[in-house]
Amino acid sequence: MRRRATSSVSHGSRAPLSTTHGKTEGTTNDRASGGSGVSRPLVIGVAGGSGSGKSTVVRQMLDRAPAVSVSLLRHDWYYCDHAELPLEERARINYDHPDSLETSLLVAHLKELIAGKAVEVPQYDFSTHRRLAETMRVDPAPVIIVDGILVLAEPELRELCDIRAYVETDADVRFIRRLLRDTRERERTLESVIAQYGETVRPMHLEFVEPSKRHAHVIIPFGAENTVAIEMLAAQLNERVRRAPEDRENA
């Protein structure tokens, strides 16, 4: 497999920080560190329906925490590759069902990043419904953000998240955003987007995505317009940077 490497997937040109965690018993960070006192990265999972504004929320959160180095993993990079199927059949796959995603690979990559190791993540072509031959290098960082519609619906994935956020946006707004995105960026026809929404997107949202918000620590209504919730999440990132020098001294 050919590989296309990047230096990192992070916000701006910030240098990674090495941090440690306090001795609060029973936290995910302590379990991951094996009691060594050295903190694992802070992992934030961001879920919500298709078109809810997850990517915008993440971007605005990072804009409010410019000193934080971040690794980003997107669940939709991990769609299964059905190379054995013709394009017409690949287009009919239910891409909103959990089985359409290779979540086990995402979980493995997330664990590698948590352990401080770089990973080569798959890249997906939404116009051909195929994985690309190239991969992208993602380097470890003090903060890891995982986003996707089903991030909180997958038990093993959400258990790795220290902060779980669910972006909640009205269904009509989500549909319009998806329609514009898929026709402009993914070379889809208007008819195919509408058909897919009725056949799979809406039913899967009601069956898997919407119920997963009960696992969220933070629900963000109105998406990117909810600056209060975004600033609360950004404060967590900035606190990680503020604590870094003290944590290094105590390591």
pLDDT tens-digit map of 205-217: 999 999 999 999 9
User: Model confidence at 9, in pLDDT bands (50, 70, 90)?
Assistant: very low
Its pTM stands at 0.80
Domains of the chain: 28-250 (3.40.50.300)
Q: What are phi and psi of 164, to 5 degrees?
A: -115, 120
Look at residues 144, 120, 139, 164 and name the one whose alpha carbon lies nearest to residue 32: 144
User: So what's the pLDDT on residue 224?
Assistant: 85
Q: Could you tell me if 129 and 83 are in contact, meaning their C-beta atoms sit under 8 angstroms apart?
A: no
Q: Could you tell me if 132 and 185 are in contact, meaning their C-beta atoms sit under 8 angstroms apart?
A: no
User: Model confidence at 169, in pLDDT bands (50, 70, 90)?
Assistant: very high
Q: Could you tell me if 251 and 196 are in contact, meaning their C-beta atoms sit under 8 angstroms apart?
A: no
